[in-house]
Structure 1
Amino acid sequence: MKQSHLRVTVLLLVAFFVATGFSFNKRMDLSHYRLNGMELCFNVPNEFDLIELRTSPVSYNLFLGKTYVGFKEALGFKESRGDYAIINQFGYMGKYQFAKATLQMIGIKNSENFLEDTYMQEKAFEAYTSRNKWILRKDIKRYKGRTIGGVYITESGILAAAHLAGAGNVKKFLRSEGAEGFADANGTSIRYYLKKFSGYDTSFIKANKKARAI
C-alpha cells in the first residue's frame, strides 16, 4: 500500500517538474522572433470606424453630358424612353422609332429582326443621321450659330429635327426663317427638337449620302 502511494507521489512530482521545468531552469529566448525592419500594418477598426451596412438599393445616373453618346441616348429616350422592342400606334419601331420605308432605305429589310437586334438599331441610327447630315450639310454651315424662330441653331439640333421631321422639312423651316413649321402626329415640332437637342457634339457623325446600316 505504501509502495503504491509512493509511486503516485513520484509520478506527480515528475509531472510537476516537466510542466514547470522551463520556468524554473531557464527563460524562453524570443530573440529570433524579432520583427525589426518588417512592415507590418494591421488596422483593426474600432467602434467609431464601423460603417453601417446599407440595406436600401442605390441608383446612379450615368453622366453623358453633351457628347455624341449623350445626344443619341437623349434622342432615343425622347422617342421611345429607350425601348428597343416598342412599336407605336403609327407603326414606328424601336428605340429611335423608324418607319419601315426609312429602314429599307438604309438597307434593313426584315423589321422583325430589327426589333430583336439592338446593335442593328444603333447602326440604323448612325446611318440615317449620316444621310441627314449630308443632305443638310449646306444648311448646317449656313444657319449654325444663328437664331431662327426664337431658337439658337446648332448642328445637333438640326440633326435631331431631321430625325423627327425629315431633312426636307428642316430645310423648309430654316430657309423660311421659321415661317414653315412642322409637327408630327403627337404634336412635337421642329422648333422643339432644335431647342431640346441643341449643343451636343455630333462631329462623330460623318456626312454620307449613301450610308447604310448593313
Structure 2
Amino acid sequence: MRRCVFFFSSLIMLLILMSFRYETKVKVPKNLKVTEPTEVLHPKNKTYIATTMIAPPFLGSSYIGFKEALAFKESQGDYFSVNALGYLGKYQFGIGTLQLMGVYNATHFLNNPELQEKAFRTNIARNKWILRRDIDRFVGKHIQGIEITESGMLAAAHLAGAGNVKKYLRSYGQVDVTDEYGSTIAKYLRRFSGYDISHVPPKRNPKV
C-alpha cells in the first residue's frame, strides 16, 4: 500500500514539474505592439487654486444678499474695520454721511453692530428718495453695456454718493467717479445688479 501511495505521489510531482517547461504563447497583433515611447498629453493651461481664497457669502438676490455682498466688498464683513481714509465699520461709512442720519459718535458707531445695520438700511432709504426719479427713468436701460437696476444704483450711491450717480446716469456714462481703491460707479452698477430691495421704502431725510 505504501509503495502505491509513494508511486502515485511521485508521478503527480513529475507531471507538475514537467508542466513548467511549457509556456503558453499568445500572438499580439502588430498594430497593438508598443514600439516607441507613448506620448503623454499635459494640459496647456494650468489652473492654480489659492488655498486662502475667500469668497463672499451667497445669500441669494434678497435685501440680505445685497447688503452682505456690499459689506464683503467694503470690509469683508468686518464691523470693526477702519480703513486708511477713516471710513468706518462693516459698510465703510464716512462720518459726514453718518451725521446726515443723526450719528455723531464714531467710536460708539464702530462698536455697535446693531447701529451699523440700522444706518445701512436708513442710508438705502435716503438714497432711494434722492434717486427716485432716476430709478423710474433709467431702470431697465443699458448704459455703456451695463443694465441699470435699482440695486446697482443704490450700491453705486453708497460708493460715490447719490449726486454722482445722477451725473453718471444723466451723462449716459460720460461722467464717472473713481475712488482711492479704483472702484467706479460703472463697476458697482454691474457688480450689484439685480438684487431685490423693493421692500425698503424711500424716505426723505431719515434718521437712525
User: Which of 129, 135, 139 does residue 124 from structure 2 map onto?
Assistant: 129
Q: Which residue of structure 1 lines up, in the alignment, with residue 4 of structure 2?
A: none
Matched, 1:113 2:111: no
Residue 195 of structure 1 corresponds to which residue in structure 2?
190
TM-score (ref. length: structure 1): 0.70
Task: Quote the Cα distance in structure 2 between the aligned partners of 1:162 and 1:129.
Answer: 9
2: CA distance, partners of 1:64 / 1:74: 8
2:73 maps to what in 1?
78
Residues 155 and 189 in structure 2, CA contact (< 8 A), matched pair in contact too: yes
* Structure 2 partner of 1:89: 84
Structure 2 residue 61 is matched with structure 1 residue 66: yes
Distance 1:170 1:123 in 2: 23
> Larger Cα Rg: Structure 1 or Structure 2?
1
Per-residue CA deviation, residues 83-133 of structure 1 (Å, 9 max, x unaligned), is 000110000000000011111110111110101100000000011111100
Structure 1 residues 73 and 175 mapped into 2: Cα distance closer, same or farther (>3 Å)? same
Structure 1 segments (4+ residues) deviating >3 Å: none
SS of corresponding position for 2:199 = coil
Superposed, 1:6-17 pairs within 5 Å as none
* SS of corresponding position for 1:139: helix
Instruction: Give the alignment partner of residue 179 of structure 2, picking from 178, 184, 206.
Output: 184
Could you tell me whether the CA contact under 8 Å between 2:57 and 2:69 is conserved in 1?
no
> Matches of 1:129 and 1:180 in 2, distance apart?
23
Q: Of 128, 136, 139, which residue of structure 1 is paired with 2:134?
A: 139
- Pairwise CA RMSD: 1.1
In the alignment of these two chains, the number of paired residues is: 153
Q: Paired residue for 2:157?
A: 162
**Counterparts of 2:144 and 2:159, CA distance in 1:** 18
- Aligned-residue offset at 1:68: 0.5
Task: Return 5+ residue gaps in structure 2 as ranges.
Answer: 1-55
The amino acid that maps onto 1:67 is S
Residue aligning to 1:40: none
* Post-superposition offset of 1:209: 1.0
Cα pair distance change 1:108/1:144, threshold 3 Å: same
Matched, 1:152 2:152: no
**1:103 partner SS:** helix
C-alpha separation between the residues in 1 aligned to 2:62 and 2:99?
28
Displacement, 1:204?
1.9
> Alpha-carbon deviation of 1:62?
6.3
Question: Identity over aligned residues, as a percent?
Answer: 55
Match of 1:174 in 2: 169
